[in-house]
Structure 1
Amino acid sequence: MSGLVIPTIETARLRLRRPALADFPAFEQIMMSDRAKYMGGPFDRWGAWGMFCHDIASWDLFGHGGLMVVRHDGVCVGEVSINHGPLFPEKELGWMLYHGFEGKGYATEAAAAFRDWAFATLRLPSLVSYFDPANTRSIAVAVRLGAMRDDDAPRQDAEDLVYRHHRPV
């Protein structure tokens, strides 16, 4: 995918942009915290770095990856990603917000914008989101996005719930 341009996506309140090295400390902090339990963590520093690099390398490998979620005042509030590779049975739409930015609609706004970009640009028929059953806040975001639970979908972990986002017709 040489020459690939990683998009910048604008919404009413947010800019979704390529990750930069300066974004790693906040990313590392959440991935090493108890909040990462819904994503297979908490992770050590090596694991956090590997996940951060995965989100960047996926752009070259698959034509999609992670984007940082930044308010228009410049504050980075989290990340949204389309994950794939050997650890993901299907292309996954994922999101996470940093501490203190939950409950403001940022995850829904960012995930909707990235989902719409993926359907328009990558021409995917659907995306999935994988959830620990206890991650009720992220499941609620998926439902607000119109995703439907898909109990027949392959999953990363036998305990995961899978919600499917269908491409609009």
Structure 2
Amino acid sequence: MIVPNAPRLETKRLILRGPEAADAEPMIAFLLDRERADGFGGYDHRGDAWRWFALNIGHWQLRGYGYFTIEMKETRTPAGISGIWNPEGWPEPEIGWVVFEGFEGRGIAREAAERVRRYAYEDLGLTTLTSNIVPGNTRSVALAERMGATYERTYMNYSMGEDMLYRHPGPEEVLG
């Protein structure tokens, strides 16, 4: 395992774990697919996508959290990523999600993101979370809203451009 401090989280269908070397290829393939990855920050060159993968590993080391690899329990196949993201210049910790090609429409992103949110509140002690969504990413907006997040404001993200900030319910509402 590349990230020794990443916990292993589980849901009914999923394992959420730290990124491993074998996860680089599916993540790079996603990031190079501009049509699918533009709302996340897609790339035109393999080296740039590889650097994003390495950046996530560094984020885990510096912040103590980052994007988990979403793995299907039954097949052990990487299906996407979900985690807490807060690089330099971000307004505050964000919960994010991505599912890889072939895994859309199965509720995987929501199942993973809800487990990550619980982890952020229970284990990390965070008291607030946002999701920063590029305008036009209607699927992510719909998921954020299904998770109870509400639109708060639009701001200029230094690396993504215009972003809509959705505020998630706090720990008292999520954890009961």
Verify same fold: TM over 0.5: yes
Question: Equivalent residues in 2 for 1:109-120 (5 A)?
Answer: 109-120=111-122
Contact 2:128 2:171 in 1 (8 A): no
Which residue of structure 2 lines up, in the alignment, with residue 36 of structure 1?
Answer: 37
1:155 deviates by 4.3
SS of the residue 1:99 aligns to? coil
What is the CA–CA distance in structure 2 between the aligned matches of 1:161 and 1:117, rounded to whole Å? 24
4+ residue runs over 4 A deviation: 152-158
- Per the alignment, residue 139 of structure 2 pairs with 137
Aligned pairs, number: 167
Which secondary structure does the structure 1 equivalent of 2:111 belong to? helix
- Measured in 2, the distance between the counterparts of 1:123 and 1:148 equals 21
Unmatched tracts of structure 1, length 5 or more:
none
Distance across 2 between alignment mates of 1:82 and 1:88: 12
2:96 corresponds to: 94
Question: Equivalent residue of 2:153, what SS?
Answer: coil
Q: Does 1:58 align with 2:59?
A: yes
Q: Which amino acid aligns with 1:64?
A: Y
- Pair 17,31 (structure 1): closer, same or farther in 2 beyond 3 Å: same
Aligned amino acid, residue 61 of structure 1: L
Q: Percent identity?
A: 37
Q: Which moved more, 1:51-60 or 1:24-33?
A: 51-60
Cα displacement (A) at 1:43: 3.8
Question: Structure 1 residues 152, 96: closer, same or farther in 2, change over 3 A?
Answer: closer
Helix, strand or coil at the partner of 1:140:
helix
How far 1:165 sits from its partner (Å)? 1.3
- Give the conservation status (yes or no) of the 8 Å contact 2:154–2:162: no
Residues of 1 paired with 2:44 and 2:120: CA distance?
Answer: 28
Report whether the alignment pairs 1:168 with 2:171: yes
User: Partner letter of residue 110 of structure 1?
Assistant: A
Shift in CA distance, 63/102, structure 1 to aligned 2, threshold 3 Å = same
State the TM-score, normalized to the length of structure 2: 0.87
Indicate if the aligned counterparts of 1:155 and 1:162 stay in contact, CA closer than 8 A. no
- Code of the residue aligned with 1:160 in structure 2: it is D
User: What is the aligned counterpart of 1:103 among 86, 102, 105?
Assistant: 105
Please give the secondary structure, in 2, of the residue aligned with 1:69: strand
